Amino acid sequence: MSDKPTESDPSQANARQRHYVRRRGRMTQGQARALEECKHRALLLGEAAPEVVLAQPPHWSEVFATHLANNPAPTAGAQHLRIGVEIGFGMGQALIQWGQQQADMALVGIEVYQPGIGSLLLQAQQEDLLDRLFVLEGDARTTLDLAFAPGSLSEVRIFFPDPWHKARHNKRRLVQREFLELVVNRLAPGGVLRMATDWEDYASWMLAQAEATPGLHNVAGPGEFAPRFAERNVTRFEARGHRLGHGVWDLHYTTSAA
Ligand SMILES: C[S@@+](CC[C@H](N)C(=O)[O-])C[C@H]1O[C@@H](n2cnc3c(N)ncnc32)[C@H](O)[C@@H]1O
């Protein structure tokens, strides 16, 4: 993953066809080893068609069976698998921190950048979080659509998505109303959506898209940004934003309760 905005890279020719760029990057030995040792905790799509790999979506209660066994439901028969998803987790710091902070949640990361996936799995090994963590490699739209049933997620986080800052590229932005409608559909009633960006223009765009999405309620009040999410550590991209003198804008929504 490069720190440079990728849409200006002319070598990424097929970016014209896609909404994301599969970045090249070298894996460290540790990341490569973690990827190999922990591949049972990931679904790596590579160049395979997601519709084929995810034709049978994961059975999440089996994927997180050990976590469930260690966290019995407080009330017999209660639904106790709470799944949180981070989309575009980069090198994985925020997702690992989430796992450390919320031991009752099972977490799924979606990412297209393999060194980032290796980095996340390496940290998960070191922090003993593998039982509660799973990775889906692939485009967020397709994987979210194929891998999760409606109403099955407790929380979705999207931190510092690629800004596609040129106006003619805005349509490639991940956060679009159509995508947010999918997120709302996959969230359970009373579910949470958190987003953040360091691009002012993308911040206003996200706010407008979210405000226009039926079923999303702005916790900060209509049309308002949220206070900085105190539980998010400063990721590499947030640090870059600060270095470049950008602000950081947080958004916090919930879905209608049942
Ligand atoms: C700017 S980085 C931010 C990474 C991380 N959230 C952070 O704050 O450090 C955006 C990340 O989203 C990933 N990404 C971009 N488009 C994606 C998509 N359509 N599906 C899944 N991941 C995507 C990129 O590979 C990259 O790691």
CATH at 232: 3.40.50.150
Q: Answer yes or no: is pLDDT of 153 > 70.
A: yes
Q: Annotated catalytic sites, by residue?
A: 162
Burial class for 77, CB neighbours closer than 10 Å (0-12, 13-18, 19+) = exposed
Q: With respect to residue 3, please indicate whether it lies within any of the assigned structural domains.
A: no
In ligand 1, which atom is closest to the CA atom of 140? Answer: 20
**pLDDT band at residue 10 under the 50/70/90 scheme:** very low
Reported as a pLDDT band with limits 50, 70 and 90, residue 238 is confident
- The number of domains in the chain is 1
The Cα 42–Cα 37 span in angstroms is 10
Tens-place pLDDT, residues 59-83:
999 999 999 998 877 776 666 899 9
Q: Is residue 6 predicted with pLDDT exceeding 60?
A: no
Residue 12 lies in a domain: no
Rounded to the nearest 5°, which phi and psi values hold at 41?
-105, 20
List CB contacts of 199: < 8 A, sequence separation 6 or more.
163, 165, 241, 246
How far, in Å, CA of 184 to CA of 213, rounded? 8
Instruction: Name which of 189, 192, 200, 249 is nearest 218 in CA terms.
Output: 192
Question: Hey, whose CA ends up nearest to atom 5 of ligand 1?
Answer: 90
Spatial neighbors of 233 by CB under 8 A, at least 6 apart, are: 93, 94, 97
Q: Which of 174, 228, 238, 242 has the most ligand 1 atoms within 8 A of CB, as the residue to mutate?
A: 174
Residue 110 has pLDDT above 60, yes or no: yes
Cα 140 to chain centroid distance, Å, stands at: 8
Please give all residues whose beta carbon lies within 6 A of any atom in ligand 1, as ranges.
Answer: 1, 19-20, 23, 87-90, 110-113, 116, 139-140, 159-162, 174, 235-238
| Residue 16 resides in a domain | no
Pocket test for ligand 1, best of 162, 165, 173 (most atoms within 8 A of CB): 162
Mean pLDDT confidence for 42-66: 89
Ligand 1 centroid to residue 58 C-alpha, Å: 22
Asked whether residue 163 is assigned to any structural domain, the reply reads yes
In the structure, what pLDDT confidence band is assigned to residue 174 with cuts at 50, 70 and 90?
very high
- Asked, for residue 20, whether it belongs to a domain, the answer is no
Residue 115 pLDDT: 94
Residue 188 falls inside a structural domain: yes
Strand 133-137 versus strand 105-111 pairing type: parallel
Helix segments in the chain, DSSP class H: 29-37, 50-53, 60-63, 65-70, 93-101, 114-126, 140-147, 177-186, 200-211, 236-243
Task: Give domain status of residue 233, yes or no.
Answer: yes
Is 7 contained in some domain?
no
Instruction: Quote the percentage of the chain above a pLDDT of 90.
Output: 69
- What range defines the domain where residue 177 resides? 29-67+79-255
The upper half-sphere exposure of residue 165, i.e. CA atoms within 13 Å in the direction of its Cβ, equals 11
pLDDT at 20: 59
- pLDDT exceeds cutoff 60 at 223: yes
